[in-house]
């Protein structure tokens, strides 16, 4: 379901980017992009949770956090708006931030339940 929604958002984004109309303003495009990222990463997060974050999942967690940071970075790097909060909107900013925090919490919580892993790789958890 989430991948279908993400695909639909990306398809709409692709169509809007191809148009030369004024209706494809940066805020609408960024919102579609952000929604696609939220849906795709949610799907991936659920897979990790179902697998109880396997030992080799640290790279995947980093990638997901990076994806969830992209909309904010995109706005800041391109100076698209003096106050990026108003371009992304408080709701999307909060959702991105909450999802990054929840993912880190779930990952760390899953790892700390594994005492033998913790003894071997505590530096990874601190990082």
Q: CA 105, CA 9: separation in Å to the nearest integer? A: 28
86-109: average pLDDT: 88
Q: CA 26, CA 94: separation in Å to the nearest integer? A: 19
Strands, DSSP E only, in the chain? none
Q: What is the pLDDT of residues 13-62, one digit of tens each?
A: 676 676 655 556 777 778 888 888 998 899 899 999 999 888 788 899 99
* Contact criterion met (CB below 8 Å) for 76 and 115: no
């Amino acid at each position: 379901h989430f991948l279908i929604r993400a695909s639909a958002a990306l398809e709409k984004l692709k169509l809007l980017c191809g148009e030369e109309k004024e209706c494809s303003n940066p805020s609408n495009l960024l919102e579609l992009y952000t929604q696609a990222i939220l849906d795709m990463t949610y799907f991936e997060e659920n897979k990790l949770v179902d697998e109880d974050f396997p030992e080799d999942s640290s790279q995947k967690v980093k990638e997901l956090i990076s994806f969830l940071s992209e909309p904010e970075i995109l706005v800041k790097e391109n100076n698209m708006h003096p106050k990026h909060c108003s371009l992304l909107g408080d709701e999307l900013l909060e959702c991105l931030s909450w999802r990054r925090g929840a993912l880190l919490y779930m990952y760390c919580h899953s790892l700390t339940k594994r005492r033998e892993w913790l003894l071997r790789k505590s530096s990874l958890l601190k990082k």
